[in-house]
Structure 1
């Protein structure tokens, strides 16, 4: 990165061109390098925790990268939480910096000397019940961009229990979860100035709607699910709904909460709490800060410190946004979906590719391939910035621990690369990786500045989002053979999306999730945009690019590398 904040293209090409054949040929799966097994108690414990979190067998080498094993920043938080049961105290960021069992086990000794035997995070203070507090940036974004009509933007899950659980135990568990996490009791209203604010109800009454049905047909299940989702009310409650279906040979549970209360990391926390409560009759230790406390401190800090220059070090190129001919955003009924999936063999290769010289993560590869296929399909266009969504739990200080906090933390920030003619996908990966590395606090600074800093609102407030990319990763905890719960598809004919009328975040919303080892891609876009035939070709090209990358993985190299 040059002093101007732009990518030093000459230096990048020089580095890429210096890779040897041996460096580049290491992009293969699996690696032939011999594996080192754990030797110390700490290494053995960490290997077991990683294996359980990532749903792997305990036979991987202790020098293998957490990310090449299928981990990401979200599962790193899960590892950090699980390790506390064994007295191992480290943060998700410590894992990112020490991404092998060997490195992390060694770092634990240093961390213990630096921080002592207790977590660095502040203890969660009591919630100030029934008192208004400010919205987070993503909550503000929701109210600014939501469509007219009922606000029913929920996040549903449908799970099956792997063994029979008494219905009363399930009901008691859900009530305990609502008591444990204040945001599941949140309400929203307009203050005297007409701005939306939120508060926490002290009592759980009217926050959870629980229903139990026995021997229901699919049509009855669809009717019950739809009815409960329509009852979600952010102003009066309930904000969290659950339906238990007990059939002859299995039990299924539908769960949903309004997105203002919850994100996908929060669901991971809730599922773990449910399993702990059912199997252990209680919850594990939590030192997480409260969402209310986080919102207030974040607002105070951002208003003073997050000026635009410190939040983003480059200027994205929005010059071609008019290409699609959408001067005025039409209603939500003009959106459509296009989906594809990649089989488990192809997905495994893409998710575990590794290089001795440059480590790249799955989301970097998938985002780079999205941009690469865009340029292949639209050669008359500059590559627009690709906004990507982050989990948003990257605090400016380690005194906050948000790893087990339920709330909506999502951030969105622009990733801009400037490809040159003739560059291949590996070039795009290198540029994407470099850009992500130079974005402060994984995009949290940009998004907080955009909504919580006066100068940030002026600088970033009107940034158009052309392409929005969201990599949700795995839900490994619902795929383990030993898990109490497993995710399943909703009954045929049951709407999966949010119930209310929704616009896309960008002109194109691209969501990637890993379901049982398979990559599933979903494109949501506006049917009134120009170039519909090219849009369809772009989606097909994205799949083709990923398949091509797998087929040439043993010989992939930057365009400037020696042949």
Structure 2
């Protein structure tokens, strides 16, 4: 058990973030179910408590005891020297990606649907929303698209919160009628989003009366928010409201590095020789002999959001729990290693049953993008769209598919191979976007490569949500649904198969939810269902079998060993 004050604080944060009753000082954050996104939340909350650790520290010193030894203390109210957060913001790679995608972009958003206190109060809510609008500069972005795309972060006070809040009375409404009301007002809010006049935020308070918890829809244009941002924004909004409700002027922990400063860092980083040396790596990946799931190419006029099919599959808690904890620990890797390996096996299995035998799978992988690539930056308190998107080559050549699908030794080999490819990708792939969009010497080469062999599948693991619901139901995802996210019906689809996975905490434990989206002119529901069934069956089988696991070369950086060398040593 913890003995020092630092250990006690860190153990409490581990338990709170991972929804555990208690944590020992030798427990690993990742073995307990943590991931890279939750590690950012850990760093932010530790700093609020006056304990200074970096995101890289969590990966290098995974336990409470090890982190406590490396942490340094600072006052929780320590003043930070703010950078220049307002003014023109250079386009980041993911925003360039949106620009090239084409189609209407005004409605492209993310949203959270929260349960809120019955006594929320319009005045207190307005004060809280104004606080976050003034505090987080990305929420004040204005996009100009003519004659070319430019972004500007407007000064504090430029956006009036009251203009972006709507109160809807749902007192006494039956559940079905309330759900219809939620959906109707969510559509109206989406139509009000307008980056051209800096309308990036819409807040709708569904007031259920003075004795019944209400609902709060927070809708934000994707230009200003991503999956990590919600883990900052939602607690900030709750804290600001709580302070206002108790008669105090809300104050929030500062964000050290602004989104604007980060964007400038990316542009400088893209031109460094170290980044340019990655060009060969990315061209080799894009040259992999991939094969689409469809004989037809994407048509941006036909294959749009309105014509997409969707399928959502949930993995029960008794499978999800080991998938997040003991399995990654056994392989000294991440849950993404396991998910992508099983996905690649499912794709190859479908191919061989449709006369498309090919052991190579190209996937566009989304990452959180908040990589530690420049000194003196701290993004743990910064809201914005930081997502990185980069191709990965999942090579299952010489893998016995039948043996791997039944969780035989070939599955262990496949997981280690995928893990090594992902582990040896520099800085979790952020360099691809830098070279693809921000470096004039490499942009054309990678753009041409994409046209010739663009990945047909995209994958995004969003991490864990709702991990602290055992403390309170207010300011957490409402039971009617966690999100009303999406885009304009005419927004072009970018992949033949788009996959988003996330883990949600439920009363029975964590559950993995996988949502597939596809153009119905290219794929049918049966195809996606077949692939998803094989994928989840592999995961189920894997989580119920003894974990072979083992080390890979990237785990032993001080030694020059091949995988065969390691396998022989482990047998001895």
Spell out the pairing of 1:175-214 with structure 2 (5 A cutoff): 175-191=130-146, 194-202=147-155, 203-205=157-159, 209-214=164-169
Question: What TM-score comes out, normalization by structure 2 length?
Answer: 0.83
Q: Does 1:291 align with 2:255?
A: no
Q: How many residues align?
A: 515
> SS state of the match for residue 254, structure 2?
coil
The offset of 1:162, in angstroms, is 4.9
Q: Which residue of 2 aligns with 1:71?
A: 34
Q: Deviations over 1:446-480 (max 9, x none)?
A: 22221111233133224212211100111235624
> SS state of the match for residue 365, structure 2?
strand
Q: Does 1:239 align with 2:203?
A: no
Q: Which residue of 2 aligns with 1:327?
A: 297
Q: Can you give the 5+ residue segments of structure 2 that lack an aligned partner in the other structure?
A: 405-409, 552-563
Q: Which residue of 1 aligns with 2:425?
A: 439
Q: Which residue of 2 aligns with 1:22?
A: none
Q: Which residue of 2 aligns with 1:455?
A: 441
Compare 465-474 and 221-230 and name the one that shifted more: 221-230
The offset of 1:231, in angstroms, is 0.5
Q: Which residue of 1 aligns with 2:558?
A: none
The offset of 1:269, in angstroms, is 0.8
Q: Deviations over 1:381-423 (max 9, x none)?
A: 2322222111111142231111111110000122223222325
Compare 307-316 and 117-126 and name the one that shifted more: 117-126
- Residue pair 2:13, 2:42 contacting (<8 A) in 1 also: yes
RMSD: 3.0
The offset of 1:57, in angstroms, is 1.3
Q: Which residue of 2 aligns with 1:51?
A: 15
- Residue pair 2:303, 2:493 contacting (<8 A) in 1 also: no
Q: Can you give the 5+ residue segments of structure 1 that lack an aligned partner in the other structure?
A: 1-36
- Residue pair 1:54, 1:70 contacting (<8 A) in 2 also: yes
Q: Which residue of 2 aligns with 1:31?
A: none
User: Match for 2:100 among 144, 165, 168?
Assistant: 144
> SS state of the match for residue 75, structure 1?
helix
Q: Does 1:506 align with 2:495?
A: yes
- Residue pair 1:390, 1:442 contacting (<8 A) in 2 also: yes
Change (3 A) 1:211 1:478: farther
Q: Which residue of 1 aligns with 2:48?
A: 85
The offset of 1:320, in angstroms, is 3.4
Q: Which residue of 1 aligns with 2:556?
A: none
> SS state of the match for residue 174, structure 1?
helix
> SS state of the match for residue 368, structure 1?
helix
Q: 2-side partners of 1:134 and 1:355: how far apart?
A: 37
Q: 2-side partners of 1:84 and 1:307: how far apart?
A: 31
The offset of 1:531, in angstroms, is 7.8
The offset of 1:117, in angstroms, is 8.5
Q: 2-side partners of 1:372 and 1:526: how far apart?
A: 22
- Residue pair 2:501, 2:514 contacting (<8 A) in 1 also: yes
> SS state of the match for residue 501, structure 2?
strand
Q: Which residue of 1 aligns with 2:84?
A: 126
The offset of 1:118, in angstroms, is 11
Q: 1-side partners of 2:503 and 2:42: how far apart?
A: 19
Question: What TM-score comes out, normalization by structure 1 length?
Answer: 0.84
Q: Which residue of 1 aligns with 2:521?
A: 528
Spell out the pairing of 1:379-458 with structure 2 (5 A cutoff): 379=352, 380-419=357-396, 420-422=398-400, 424-458=410-444
Q: 1-side partners of 2:519 and 2:329: how far apart?
A: 41
> SS state of the match for residue 222, structure 1?
helix
Q: Does 1:468 align with 2:458?
A: yes
- Residue pair 1:121, 1:398 contacting (<8 A) in 2 also: no
Q: Which residue of 2 aligns with 1:551?
A: 544
